[in-house]
Amino acid sequence: MTSSQNPTITRRRLRIELRRLREAANHPLAEVTKTLDWSTSKLIRIENGSVSISVTDLRALLEVYETPAEIVEDLVALARSARERSWWSHYREFLTPQYQEFIGFEADAARLRLFQPTMVPGLFQTAAYAHALIPAVSVSPLPEWQVDGLVEVRLRRQKEILGADLPPEITVVLDEAVLRRPVGGAETMRAQLEHLAEAQAHPTVTVAVVPFSAGPHMGLQGPFQVLEFADDVDGSVLYLEYTMDDMAIRENAEQITEYSRHLDRLLARALPGDAAADFLRQIAKEIG
């Protein structure tokens, strides 16, 4: 079993393995919790990742499952790693748990494939665009310090992902509406579109644009992102965003496959590569 330094990934690996071990041992939830004198909800929360597990509780659980000693030590190492602090933990006072979990998955992904119909994705926002966008789309008013912190998080994500020694492969598909909606004034929007056009020069980034002429498509239902990992044990993750404070992370394999196919279909209708960059610069010239 491999070990990641990313606490989000290690927590996910741990809960997946604990569920697998219980099912392999053919132990119903009620039987396990009765043996350990736990509430059923405690074990459910451990297996779905909503709470962490102490090393003491982990060893007791693995004893019930009659787990081999070498696997026990691997899982204890995972449990300890899952409790380590990450860079985004410093911002947890204004980041939702779902957003923190997403940042953790993003940080460990080998491939990011995403569609955005309404706004520039966070990984490619300029600071000025982010400052104008974040308070505008917030469900409730945000104090300036919180806006500054959220912008700082986005810029840090960009540095960590795009500036990594081995950056992930990133495919970004945008609806033309993203480019046409002014955010922060003409100067900010022109700079943002130029920034997107220049992103094509990054060795692992592909930006494509679905023009209005392509007509309606399933992406109009909302943004989505598929995150894939280098280690097969981690599978893939689907990320659905409804608002800045309301997002969902899905791990259903069939659903992930379906959304991947949707993205392929959007790519087939999109302007690719240099054509997308030319289109971005053309719209930038039209602004103002």
Q: From the CB of residue 42, how many other CB atoms can be counted at a distance below 10 Å?
A: 14
Query: Do 131 and 264 have their domain in common?
Result: yes
The pLDDT tens digits of the residues spanning 242-277 come to 776 678 889 899 999 999 999 999 999 999 999 999
Domain count within the chain = 2
**Which CATH number characterizes residue 45's domain?**
1.10.260.40
In a domain, 1, yes or no: no
Query: Do 112 and 28 have their domain in common?
Result: no
Ranking 10-14, 94-98, 251-255 by mean pLDDT, the lowest is 10-14
- Our CA angle for 124, 126, 132, nearest 5°, is 120
| Domain span holding position 74 | 7-82
The pLDDT tens digits of the residues spanning 103-158 come to 999 998 999 999 999 999 999 999 999 999 999 999 889 999 999 999 999 999 99
Instruction: Work out the percent of the chain whose per-residue pLDDT is above 90.
Output: 65
Query: Do 152 and 241 have their domain in common?
Result: yes
Query: Do 126 and 54 have their domain in common?
Result: no
Q: Do 255 and 195 form a contact (C-beta atoms < 8 A)?
A: no
Helix (H) or strand (E) holding 24: helix 7-24
* CA distance readout (Å), 240 to 115, 167, 224, 243: 10, 22, 5, 10
159-190 burial by CB neighbour count: b if 16+ within 10 A, else e? ebbbeeeebbebbbbbbbebbeeebbeeebbb
Question: Where is pLDDT greater, at 233 or 111?
Answer: 111
Residue at token pair 């955005």: 116
In a domain, 2, yes or no: no
